[in-house]
Amino acid sequence: MDDIYKEYEGKIPEGIIADVQSSLPDKVSKAQLKSIMQKVLEEYEKSRIEAGEAVGLISAQSVGEPGTQMTLNTFHFAGVSEFNVTVGLPRIIEILDGRQNISTPMMEIYLKEPYSKGKDIKQIAESIKQTEFRDFIKEITLEITEGKLDVKLDLEKVKRVDLSEAKLLKIFEKSVKGFTFKQNGDMITLKSKGKSENVNELYKLKEKLKSLYVSGIKGITQVLPVKREDEYVIMTAGSNLKEVFKLDYVDTVRTTTNDIHEIQAVLGIEASRQAVINEVNKVIEEQGLNIDIRHIMLIADIMSFSGKVRGITRYGVVSDKSSVLARASFETPIKHIMEAAFVGEIDKLTSVVENVMINQVIPVGTGLPELRSTIKK
Amino acid sequence: MAEIFLNGKFIGTVADPGKLVDSFVEERRKGKLHYSISIYHDKTLDEVQIESSRGRAIRPLIVIKEGKPMLTDRHIEQVEKGELTFFDLVKQGVIEYLDAMEEEEALVAFDENDLTPEHTHMEILPLAIVGLCTSLVPFGNFNQSTRLNAGSKNQKQSLGLYAANYLVRMDMDVNVLHTPQLPLVKTIMHDSSHYENHPSGQNVVLAILSFDGYNMEDAILLNKASIERGYARSTYFRPVVTEELRYSGGLIDEVSVPDKDVKGFKSEKDYRLLEGDGIIFPEAVIAEGDVVIGKTSPPRFLSSLDEYNLTSSARRESSMTIKHGEKGVVDFVLLTENSEGNKLIQVRLRDQRIPETGDKFTSRHGQKGVVGLIVETADMPYSASGIVPDIIFNPHGIPSRMTMSHLIEMLAGKTGALSGRYIDGTPFEAEDHNNLRKELASLGFREDGTETFYNGRTGEMFKAQIYVGDMYYLKLKHMVANKVHARARGPIQLLTRQPTEGRAKEGGLRLGEMEKDTFVSHGAALLLKERFDADRTIVPFCEQCGLVAVYDEYKKKSYCPICGDNCSVSNVELAYAFKLLLDELKSLGIYPKLKLKDKY
Ligand SMILES: [Zn+2]
């Protein structure tokens, strides 16, 4: 039996051979297996793209056309305001452009048992969320005449988080070096140590205090525990995959983010290729559209084959095109032509765009085969 | 503490903004402040906005106090008698103008039945909710709002009598409808805007029916006999204008029949309609290529000497001719002088437009469509009483668009035509269509407006009852005669050698970037190449330096201007536009070298 499988190795992908192996009934004769494998090979060959098919352009058209039907709205999460997600065409553009800073980074944090069943879910969620000092301030007043800053704390709020009042004050005190620190109940008074009562400095301090990091994971601004089937998942606004993976109650296998560059930094290029596919597919499904996944896979391959994610822009994959004319026809033609001229680039006219420009037969489809004959002398 | 802004600029603060707004409005109602100044307290931002800037839309409303309108029967009586004017009522604080911001805080009642003590204002007339054009849609309140918008937009494009003095005007691209009519189903806006002085449509008998598929996708069918009786005929006017321009050096354009030795002389035939003064005579029948105004201009460049010596022969032909695809009759010739003192010649052309396949028509309900077929009267379906509809409208246009007013107008129009009166279809205040149904029944017709119809070709009775009625139909200014265009071969541009663009220049139809992509994705490489062969050229190239070589016609030999005679020159087939690109690169100081090698 194995020798038959061996025979087809290299002709059929391993995955398909494994599929055949696992789905075969127990009693199969050698002859039967042979004919099955032959049939599989035929089907496999049949389903392959033919030489000369313009796959890239077909992918572009297949993604581009449904793109015109997409809605442009951002979508709001139920319940929590300021928790919105970029969807539709803007999101697709964002992914395919390979933007470094996406407009609405988000995470889906899966948890290990027993937390995934709802144990301490509220506390866990709150502890992930980045808290800033402003969350604990009731009022902050700048007394210009006396050169002091009065900070009124909201002690009620301090109690709610997994954080002691003393710890909070310690963080606070550390950050106000150079100022006298006086506490009186919930009122804290700050005064400049230096003789010069610099109002400007106090104002800067006031702004700095507001965004003083206290606890949680940096970058995560909102958390929302949701029940998905029979387990709890924490959705977040803001993303920090590296720090979240360090938490011991997090299921690192399934936890993910929508920031492709972050995935690349933490998990590598293969993961980010898959992330591109998943993210694009998510948008397409949300919009109720139907695009064959192979088109998206091709785009993801193009974006990631160099080892790092690059967008489909003139700085990204387009800059790789070997043809000067093709690059010039995309965007900023003069720049491309001048740069090519400086180094004396040669355009070999091997691709579609440049051949259309000079009105020659394009090397695609019927333009691919050539007729050759030897002339007898 | 609320901040106060005057026309968007901060001017101060106020402790009690509510009181400020109240007293402000009170003063305005007394007439102490101008009625167009608006005030608004934004409670969420705690800001008071006072606006007096121009360009705001303001609209009048009746002021309501304690659930009672300030406008009394006494006021109306006085206005009717002419003792008071509308603006007297504004000055008395009976009527108030609100802008969009102030309206935000107002609670406006639709009519007196809706009034509650909370209301602050009331509509003068429910119709005042919509604008002038929308008020012209009968039974418009039965419609979806987008259809109302479409309906009023279409009315603006309809042909009619746009100005009573059109015969002495020189308007660009205008149409006048022959025998326009007043609609059978009117709104009060038709009366108050004196629609009878400038009607823009005709009443037709409309049947809602499919017919052989020629009225699919919103198309309509026209009865040929209706057209022959003169339905929807119109005249299209277009002026041809030119002036005798003065140039530096005392040179001037000259309107005259050009001499044969003028540069660019067309042919004797093209000038045949010109009279001695070089201008065409009225009522001349003209077609494409004919000269309307003969004109010559001085030479463009005066630098070379020989042109100085032969001044007369060097003049250029610059006559005004009829453009590609146009025809007509010369209607009117006007000779005058423009503001610079130059002689100005205007020739107005006229062309009768008989409805044809492709002309655009619409009802007043946003139900526009083009003529799909002009049906022989003998083939038209007819009713039991022998009525043959003028237009057949496709029933599929109704359900998705939900233009109920279209259906009601048909019923109302039918009742009006049969009873010999105009029907009031003013939105919100129209005659009750239930009463119209009863009236129709009393006139001997089926009350739902349907009738038994027969197939015009076979004489068979249709199994379904057909909805027929009278309707006001408009011919829109988009006529195929101004738009049809096709080209196989034709003029090309001088610079790129590609086909010209646009109908007027008999241009080609552009196969653009995305259209090109469809050929590529089908793999139709050779077809694509053929399609782009319009500017194909064969250019000799020097194999040594890779630049364009020269073919010497006398010596029957190619040579390279750089490398001389001793280099091999090959002919290369390429797009002329690409050769142009290479030339432009050279002008940038870039050396575009072609490295040639045999293809096979
Ligand atoms: Zn040369």
What confidence tens digit (pLDDT) does each residue in B444-459 have? Answer: 999 999 999 999 999 9
Contact between B176 and B234 under an 8 Å Cβ cutoff? The reply is yes
- Both structure tokens of A293: 């996944």
pLDDT of B238 reads 92
User: Do B229 and B251 have their domain in common?
Assistant: no
- Domain-located, residue B132: no
> If you average pLDDT over residues A153-169, what whole number do you get?
70
> If you average pLDDT over residues B358-371, what whole number do you get?
95
Amino acid at A235: M
Q: Which H, E and C letters describe B416-458, residue by residue?
A: HHHHCCCEECCCCCCCCHHHHHHHHHHCCCCCCCEEEEECCCC
The phi, psi pair for A342, rounded to 5°, reads -60, -40
Q: Tens digits of per-residue pLDDT, B90-143?
A: 999 999 999 999 998 899 999 888 899 999 999 999 998 888 999 999 999 999
Q: Tens digits of per-residue pLDDT, B190-203?
A: 999 999 999 999 99
A359, A360, A370, A375: which to substitute to probe chain B, counting the most B Cβ within 10 Å?
A359
Give B5 to chain A, closest Cα distance, Å.
27
pLDDT higher than 90, residue A69: no
User: Do B49 and B156 have their domain in common?
Assistant: no
Q: Last residue of a domain, which of B353, B374, B394?
A: B353
How far is the centre of ligand 1, averaged over its atoms, from the C-alpha of A344 (Å)?
18
Cβ contacts of B524 on chain A, cutoff 8 Å: 365-366
Give A339 to chain B, closest Cα distance, Å.
11
Higher pLDDT, B85 or A81: B85
Q: Is A52 within 8 Å of chain B by CB?
A: yes
Look at residues A258, A265, A255, A269 and name the one whose alpha carbon lies nearest to residue A300: A269
pLDDT of B312 reads 46
A348/A354 Cα distance (integer angstroms):
9
pTM over 0.80, yes/no: no
Contact between B521 and A58 using a beta-carbon 8 Å cutoff: yes
> If you average pLDDT over residues B502-524, what whole number do you get?
92
Neighbours of B492 (CB within 10 A): 16
Contacts of B147 (CB under 8 A, 6+ apart): B365, B366, B401, B402, B403, B405
Contact between B98 and B111 under an 8 Å Cβ cutoff? The reply is no
- Split at pLDDT 50, 70, 90, the class of A163 is low
pLDDT of A40 reads 93
B177/B359 Cα distance (integer angstroms):
14
Write the CATH number for B22: 3.90.1070.20
Q: What is the mean pLDDT of chain A?
A: 84
Cβ contacts of B597 on chain A, cutoff 8 Å: none
Contact between B516 and A352 under an 8 Å Cβ cutoff? The reply is no
Cross-chain CB nearest to A361 (options B517, B526, B577):
B526
Q: How many residues does chain B have?
A: 600
Give A68 to chain B, closest Cα distance, Å.
14
> If you average pLDDT over residues A253-276, what whole number do you get?
94
- Split at pLDDT 50, 70, 90, the class of B503 is confident
B519, B529, B591, B597: which to substitute to probe chain A, counting the most A Cβ within 10 Å?
B529
> If you average pLDDT over residues B306-329, what whole number do you get?
74
Contact between A364 and B520 using a beta-carbon 8 Å cutoff: yes
- Domain-located, residue A27: yes
- Domain-located, residue A375: no
- Domain-located, residue B252: yes
Write the CATH number for B312: 2.40.50.150
Write the CATH number for A346: 1.10.150.390
B541/B579 Cα distance (integer angstroms):
11
How far is the centre of ligand 1, averaged over its atoms, from the C-alpha of A343 (Å)?
22
> If you average pLDDT over residues B529-539, what whole number do you get?
93
pLDDT higher than 90, residue B300: no
B262/B269 Cα distance (integer angstroms):
16
Q: Last residue of a domain, which of A156, A188, A215?
A: A215
Look up residue B397 and give its DSSP letter.
G
User: Do B509 and B572 have their domain in common?
Assistant: no
3-class DSSP assignment, residue B542: strand
The rounded percent of chain A whose pLDDT value lies above 70 is 91
B372/B215 Cα distance (integer angstroms):
6
Contact between B590 and A54 using a beta-carbon 8 Å cutoff: no
Cross-chain CB nearest to B521 (options A57, A346, A366):
A57
User: Do B97 and B146 have their domain in common?
Assistant: no
pLDDT of A194 reads 63
Look up residue A360 and give its DSSP letter.
-
Q: Which residue of chain A has the CA closest to B593?
A: A346
Tally the domains of chain B: 5
pLDDT of B264 reads 83
pLDDT of A117 reads 86
The phi, psi pair for B175, rounded to 5°, reads -130, 145
Contact between A362 and B595 using a beta-carbon 8 Å cutoff: no
3-class DSSP assignment, residue A169: helix
Quote the longest CA-to-CA distance of chain B. Answer: 108
Higher pLDDT, B231 or A287: B231
Look up residue A136 and give its DSSP letter.
G
B470/B451 Cα distance (integer angstroms):
13
pLDDT higher than 90, residue A179: no
- In angstroms and rounded to an integer, the radius of gyration of the C-alpha atoms of chain A is 30
Give A11 to chain B, closest Cα distance, Å.
27
Give A142 to chain B, closest Cα distance, Å.
20
Contact between B516 and A338 using a beta-carbon 8 Å cutoff: no
User: Do B91 and B179 have their domain in common?
Assistant: no
Cβ contacts of A52 on chain B, cutoff 8 Å: 523
- Both structure tokens of B545: 């330096």
Write the CATH number for B367: 2.40.270.10
> If you average pLDDT over residues A152-178, what whole number do you get?
72
User: Do B444 and B361 have their domain in common?
Assistant: yes
pLDDT of B533 reads 93
pLDDT of B262 reads 83
Look up residue A27 and give its DSSP letter.
-
Cross-chain CB nearest to B585 (options A337, A356, A367):
A337
Size of interface A-B (CB pairs under 8 A): 74
- Both structure tokens of B43: 């409670």
Look up residue B83 and give its DSSP letter.
S
Q: CA triplet B450, B454, B456: central angle to 5 degrees?
A: 130
- Domain-located, residue A328: yes
CA B583 to chain centre: 42
Contacts of B419 (CB under 8 A, 6+ apart): B439, B443
pLDDT of B575 reads 94
Contact between B256 and B278 under an 8 Å Cβ cutoff? The reply is yes
User: Do B367 and B349 have their domain in common?
Assistant: no
Q: Which residue of chain A has the CA closest to B600?
A: A372
Neighbours of A117 (CB within 10 A): 11
A82/A79 Cα distance (integer angstroms):
10
Neighbours of A222 (CB within 10 A): 17
User: Do B107 and B119 have their domain in common?
Assistant: yes
CB-based contacts of B31-36 (< 8 A; 24+ apart in sequence): B31/B91, B31/B92, B31/B93, B35/B90, B35/B91, B35/B96, B35/B97, B36/B97
pLDDT higher than 90, residue B407: yes
B201/B195 Cα distance (integer angstroms):
11
Q: Which residue of chain B has the CA closest to A374?
A: B600
Q: Which of A85-89, B27-31, B503-507 has the lowest mean pLDDT?
A: A85-89
How far is the centre of ligand 1, averaged over its atoms, from the C-alpha of A348 (Å)?
20
How far is the centre of ligand 1, averaged over its atoms, from the C-alpha of B562 (Å)?
5
How far is the centre of ligand 1, averaged over its atoms, from the C-alpha of B529 (Å)?
29
Neighbours of B313 (CB within 10 A): 13
Contact between A357 and B532 using a beta-carbon 8 Å cutoff: no
Q: What is the mean pLDDT of chain B?
A: 91
Give A175 to chain B, closest Cα distance, Å.
35
Contacts of A276 (CB under 8 A, 6+ apart): A95, A260, A296, A299, A300, A303, A304, A309
With an 8 Å Cβ cutoff, the interface of chain B facing chain A consists of 516-518, 520-529, 532-533, 535-536, 573-575, 577-578, 581, 585, 588, 590-591, 595, 600
pLDDT higher than 90, residue B518: yes
How far is the centre of ligand 1, averaged over its atoms, from the C-alpha of B566 (Å)?
9
Cβ contacts of B525 on chain A, cutoff 8 Å: 361-368
pLDDT of A230 reads 86
Write the CATH number for B573: 3.90.1800.10
- Both structure tokens of B599: 């293809």
Contacts of B560 (CB under 8 A, 6+ apart): B542, B544, B545, B547, B549, B550, B567, B569
pLDDT of A73 reads 55
How far is the centre of ligand 1, averaged over its atoms, from the C-alpha of B563 (Å)?
4
CA B544 to chain centre: 58
Q: Is A333 within 8 Å of chain B by CB?
A: no
**Which position has the token pair 């785009």?**
A299
Q: Is A61 within 8 Å of chain B by CB?
A: yes
Contact between B590 and A338 using a beta-carbon 8 Å cutoff: yes
- Domain-located, residue B156: yes
pLDDT of A210 reads 78
Contact between A349 and A355 under an 8 Å Cβ cutoff? The reply is yes
CB burial class (10 A; 0-12, 13-18, 19+) of residue A189?
Answer: middle
pLDDT of A209 reads 78
Instruction: Supply the residues of B annotated as catalytic.
Output: 218
- Split at pLDDT 50, 70, 90, the class of A309 is very high
Cross-chain CB nearest to B536 (options A53, A359, A362):
A359
pLDDT higher than 90, residue B541: yes
Look at residues A117, A76, A132 and name the one whose alpha carbon lies nearest to residue A225: A117
The boundaries of the domain holding residue A10 are: 2-47
Dihedral sign (CA A6, A10, A12, A13): positive
Q: Which of A198-207, B81-90, B382-391 has the lowest mean pLDDT?
A: A198-207
Cross-chain CB nearest to B523 (options A54, A61, A370):
A54
User: Do B228 and B241 have their domain in common?
Assistant: no
- Domain-located, residue A353: yes
Contact between B84 and B71 under an 8 Å Cβ cutoff? The reply is no
> If you average pLDDT over residues B314-333, what whole number do you get?
88
Higher pLDDT, B444 or B305: B444
- Domain-located, residue B594: no
pLDDT of B497 reads 94
- Both structure tokens of A75: 């979508």
User: Do B223 and B371 have their domain in common?
Assistant: yes
Contact between A363 and B525 using a beta-carbon 8 Å cutoff: yes
> If you average pLDDT over residues A100-119, what whole number do you get?
88
Q: Which of A71-80, A310-319, A368-377, B587-596 has the lowest mean pLDDT?
A: A71-80
Q: Last residue of a domain, which of B308, B330, B353?
A: B353
- Domain-located, residue A164: yes
The boundaries of the domain holding residue B512 are: 485-525
Dihedral sign (CA B201, B202, B203, B207): negative
Q: Is A55 within 8 Å of chain B by CB?
A: no
Contact between A311 and A303 under an 8 Å Cβ cutoff? The reply is yes
Q: What share of chain A is helix, strand, coil (3-state, %, to 5)?
A: 45, 15, 35
pLDDT of A161 reads 59
Q: Which residues partner with B160 through β-bridges?
A: B176
Q: Tens digits of per-residue pLDDT, B159-189?
A: 999 999 999 999 988 999 999 999 999 999 9
A93/A280 Cα distance (integer angstroms):
10
Cβ contacts of B528 on chain A, cutoff 8 Å: 356, 362
> If you average pLDDT over residues A62-66, what whole number do you get?
90
B496, B497, B518, B528: which to substitute to probe chain A, counting the most A Cβ within 10 Å?
B528
Cross-chain CB nearest to A366 (options B523, B585, B588):
B523
The phi, psi pair for A213, rounded to 5°, reads -70, 130
Q: Tens digits of per-residue pLDDT, A75-106?
A: 555 545 556 778 888 888 899 999 999 988 99
Contact between B159 and B175 under an 8 Å Cβ cutoff? The reply is yes
Tally the domains of chain A: 3
